Amino acid sequence: MRSIKKKVMKRLQAMMMSDSTMRLMADPRFQKVLMAAFQAQHSAKSRYNQGVAALARRLNLATKSDMSKLNRRIRELESALEKSNEKVQRQ
């Protein structure tokens, strides 16, 4: 699998360095189309994530954001517990 990936990456690098690719990337019209494509991708992904979060809330499931907050709170509590244990051991 790695050899396939290496071959593909090598081929892509060669393509990116070609004169035709450089001319295309320098063309303002192409840059505009490319930017629009990236914006459309971002917008679609954002709408998808919002839909998933809304569905999770309706089904009373934890969202990605909820899990991130929970993990952060667990780390805070673990840290506080470690500090408390260190105090107790010093006494």
Tokens of 28: 């303002």
Domain co-membership, 40 together with 68: no
pLDDT of residue 16: 85
As a whole number of angstroms, the distance between CA 64 and CA 69 comes to: 9
Together in a domain, 51 and 73: no
In 3D space, the residue among 72, 75, 50 whose CA is nearest the CA of residue 63 turns out to be 50
pLDDT at residue 2 in the model: 79
Q: Does one domain contain both 68 and 52?
A: no
Shared domain for 43 and 74, answered yes or no, is no
Q: What is the pLDDT of residue 12?
A: 87
Rounded average pLDDT per 10-residue block, the chain, 91 residues: 87 88 92 96 96 93 93 98 93 81
Residues 11 and 28 in one domain: yes
Residue 90: domain span: 62-91
Indicate whether 37 and 5 sit together in one domain: yes
Cβ contact 76:68 at 8 Å: no
What does the pLDDT read at residue 15?
87
Residues 13 and 56 in one domain: yes
Q: Is the whole model's pTM more than 0.75, yes or no? A: no
